[in-house]
Structure 1
Amino acid sequence: MHIGIGLPNQVRNVTASIIPRWAARAEQAGFSTLATTGRYAYPGVNDTVTLAAAAGATTTIGLLSAVLLAPTWPAALLAKEIAGIDGVSGGRLTLGIGVGSREDEFTVPGHGLRGRGARLDSDLATYRDVWGGEPVGNGPNPAVPSGTRQVPMLFGGYSTPTLNRMVRWGEGYIGGSLPAAMTAAAFEAAKRAWRAAGRQGAPKLVALAYFALGDTETGQTNIRDFYRFAPEDIAANVVLCTTPKTIEQSITDYADLGVDEIIFVPATDDLDEVTRLADIVA
């Protein structure tokens, strides 16, 4: 199982200049992937800005949005942003998509919370058209350079429409930051949906878990703050690893489920957390 690390873009009041340094150190430490956490109505750094900074600071490590709230964006604009980041990175980006559930995240007129699922279904086709070089804006020009690839997509969420999007448009599924015993059913549902749709092989499965190995008290405070308005069954069960033993147990638990990759998401923006985690999982 591959082991990736999150970027601290949604730590409250993150020091933004840490992000490219964090990315470079994570690549040097040998992590498989750098991942972002997506929110708008929170004092952090946006997914696309963070991923672009990470792309410029690294050369080989994978990049993943885990997950970006795609229906909060106009589709053609997001498609161009994602294509640009992927191009800058040399084709290392995977777009992880969620639909979102908080009204305050939906700030663009005409892109509100209501109807977000149906809007996303239409948006996914727009992404493919934009990346394929189709003209945009009723004019003759495409939005992206020739040679732009179809960026691979993963989907996160617990609904049947999420799984339908995954098997139609995606390469796999991202589970929530919950104990393996709680996410096992979602991973199994993703595999069943994949087989039922006649897709070849198996979906890529990615798990998420938070960690705070230095200042664990601040890490716990930050996680409580980030999930303050989340449903109680999620907020009360978010995984936060604070010791080598809990890191190792999370790896074992998800490996037993057949997960392909686990991303450890930082609960603080202490740059030394990259080294602390690497020392455990190396």
Structure 2
Amino acid sequence: MHIGIALPTAVRHADPRVIPRWATAAEQAGFATLGSTGRYAYPAVSDTVALAAAAAVTSRIELLSHIMIAPSWPAALLAKEVAGIDAVSGGRLTLGIGLGTRADDFVVPGLGLRGRGKRLDADLRTYRSVWRGKPVAGGENPAVPDGTRHIPLLFGASSEAALQRAAREGEGFIGPSVPAPMAGPSFDAARAAWSAAGRTSPPRLVALAYFGFGDAERSRATVHDFYASHTLTAGLAETIAGGVAVGTAEIRQTVAAYQDMGVDDLIFLPSADDLDALTQLADCVLQGSAT
């Protein structure tokens, strides 16, 4: 199982200047993947901006959005944006996408919550057309340069229709950021969807887990703040916040739980923008020497 760390893009008012330093430190520490969580209606750096900054200051670590709310974007624009990030990184971006659930994240006129599933199906065709270098809007020019690749797609999904889309269109599945014991059924559902779709290769399974060191209540309050919304299922913010792994023992228990589930990747999401937390996590899960 590969272990990664997310950029602090889900931390309220995180210092934007920490993003490139965080990315550099994550690569130097030996994390396999550098992730980013994105919302529009939250006071933090956009996931596209954060990933672009990370692409510019790293050379080896995989970049992953987990997840980007794809239907809130005009499809052709997002396809060009992520193609540029991937190109700057030298082909290290994996695009994790999902439908989104909060109305305030959908600010582009005509691109609201309603109909976003069908819209995403059309968007996926647009992404691939853009990445193939097809001319834009009936003109002569493509949106991307020669050599642009088809970016690998992972999906965050919970409904049956979304799981079917993931198995039809993607290379893997990103699990929910709930406590590990609650996440297991979602990975089983992804495996079943892949099998039902006749996929010969298993899905890449990516788990997400929040972590912190020191003040447990502060860590959990930060995570709760990101998820608190009337559009979410009642109690979900409390569930996610209550599952934050705080301290060495809980973090290592989380690693063991996901190893037992057979996931391919575990991405730890920070509850603070403090670089010391990144170093402590590396010591804990990569070298095993944290105290």
| Length-normalised TM-score, structure 1 | 0.98
Q: CA deviation at 1:214?
A: 3.9
| Equivalent in the alignment of 1:119 | 119
| Length-normalised TM-score, structure 2 | 0.95
| Equivalent in the alignment of 1:267 | 271
| Equivalent in the alignment of 1:236 | 238
Q: Which amino acid aligns with 2:256?
A: T
2:280 matched to 1:248? no
* 1:187-226 aligned within 5 A: 187-226=187-226
* 1:17-56 aligned within 5 A: 17-56=17-56
Give a deviation string over 1:219-254, Cα, whole Å, max 9, x none.
222112112213234212212111111111111111
Q: CA deviation at 1:157?
A: 2.0
Q: Is the 8 A contact 1:212 1:273 kept in 2?
A: yes
2:10 matched to 1:6? no
Q: Which 5+ residue runs of structure 2 have no aligned equivalent?
A: 287-291
Q: Which amino acid aligns with 1:189?
A: A
How far, CA to CA, are the matches of 2:164 and 2:192 in structure 1? 11
How far, CA to CA, are the matches of 1:232 and 1:266 in structure 2? 24
The farther-off stretch of 184-193 and 87-96 is: 184-193
2:146 matched to 1:142? no
How far, CA to CA, are the matches of 2:41 and 2:136 in structure 1? 29
| Equivalent in the alignment of 1:74 | 74
| Equivalent in the alignment of 1:105 | 105
How far, CA to CA, are the matches of 2:77 and 2:266 in structure 1? 30
Give a deviation string over 1:56-99, Cα, whole Å, max 9, x none.
11000000000000000000000000000000000000000010
How far, CA to CA, are the matches of 1:130 and 1:167 in structure 2? 22
How far, CA to CA, are the matches of 1:255 and 1:200 in structure 2? 23
Q: CA deviation at 1:215?
A: 4.4
The farther-off stretch of 91-100 and 209-218 is: 209-218
How far, CA to CA, are the matches of 1:207 and 1:68 in structure 2? 15
Q: Which amino acid aligns with 1:24?
A: T
How far, CA to CA, are the matches of 1:118 and 1:156 in structure 2? 16
Q: CA deviation at 1:137?
A: 1.7
Give the SS at the match of 1:189: helix
Instruction: Check 1:233–1:258 CA distance in 2 against 1; reply closer, same or farther (3 A cut).
Output: farther
Give a deviation string over 1:2-42, Cα, whole Å, max 9, x none.
00001001210010000000000000000000100110000
